[in-house]
Amino acid sequence: MRKTIKYKGTDVVYSHSGSGQTLLLLHGFLEDRSMWDDLIKRLTGYSIVAVDLLGQGETGNVGYVHSMEAHAEAVAKVLEAENVSHCTVIGHSMGGYVALALAELEPQLINGLVLLHSTASADSEDKQIDRERVIALVKRNMRVYVQAVIPTLFAESNRDKHKQDILNLVNVASGFTQQGIIANIRGMMERKDQSAILKAGSFQKLLIHGVQDPVLNTEEIIAFGQLDASVEVVCIENAGHMGHLETPEFVFSAVSNFCQN
């Protein structure tokens, strides 16, 4: 069921379906809550809240920088409206950054945390410079940028068979505003390192990583598994940054097993 709440004067749109243990699903950059449709169909027996984050999907903008903390505040408002006191959070890419910010803001809400192709690290200086270049590209021609970047998120060997998925993602992202995309890029640039949350958070954590991910470093992700016994890392050999589309059965199995433990 589609629902809305107000956050800083704008509509935050989300869906809430099913019953049982609550799962909170947070999409990535250039995505909306529809990215979870296949996983939601597979995850029966749960109460599932899927949120359109600020500046993406049907949710509006709240300024020219969408910090991860602002996203987390908006998500917390959704959970309050739905009377959710505990949940397992699954965040893809940027959604993982938001999940970590939520775990810092409202730690009592978190039963478990799944980072799907995401990291607790802040942007390196080189990455921040690269994001400035991306902002310039978006300002020149947003659709050209979207069309160019989305195929690269898939493992090269998977791109041909996922042409329709790539087209669908391009069409979704092309409907976002330039302001929303840039505000989220700036929010990711400015985010802080959240490794301490992985180490100290009193809940189980699972990191699902694609070995062919062009965005994240495999050695760095594996190293997170050494921070604490509560952190598990699972690697997918034949996936890039979009494992929920490239290897949906694997991602479902990993998430399902995590939620049942």
For the chain, count helices (H), then strands (E).
11, 8
Q: How far apart are CA 206 and CA 146, in angstroms?
A: 29
Percent above pLDDT 70 for the chain: 100
For 167, half-sphere exposure in the C-beta direction (CA atoms, 13 angstrom radius) is 5
Q: Which among 198, 18, 225, 210 is positioned nearest to 112, based on CA atoms?
A: 198
Tell me the residue type at 19: S
Tokens 């090269």 belong to which residue? 156
pTM: 0.98
Domain ranges of the chain: 2-260
Tokens 């938001």 belong to which residue? 98
Q: How confident is the model at residue 89 (pLDDT cuts 50, 70, 90)?
A: very high
Tokens (6 digits) for 92 = 């893809």
pLDDT digit string, tens, across residues 30-59: 999 999 999 999 999 999 999 999 999 999
Percent above pLDDT 90 for the chain: 98
Whether the per-residue pLDDT at 261 is higher than 90: the answer is: no
DSSP percent split of the chain into helix, strand, coil, nearest 5: 50, 20, 30
2-260, which class in CATH? alpha beta
Please state the φ and ψ torsions of residue 44, each to the nearest 5 degrees.
-85, 155
Q: How far apart are CA 175 and CA 161, in angstroms?
A: 24
pLDDT digit string, tens, across residues 199-236: 988 899 999 999 999 999 999 999 999 999 999 999 99
Q: How far apart are CA 57 and CA 16, in angstroms?
A: 16
Q: Label residues 30-59 b or e (16+ Cβ within 10 Å = b).
A: bbbbbbbeebbeebeebbbbbbbbbbbbeb
Q: How far apart are CA 236 and CA 218, in angstroms?
A: 10
Q: How confident is the model at residue 151 (pLDDT cuts 50, 70, 90)?
A: very high
Q: Supply the pLDDT for residue 201.
A: 81
Average pLDDT score over the chain? 97
| Average pLDDT of the residues in 95-108 | 97
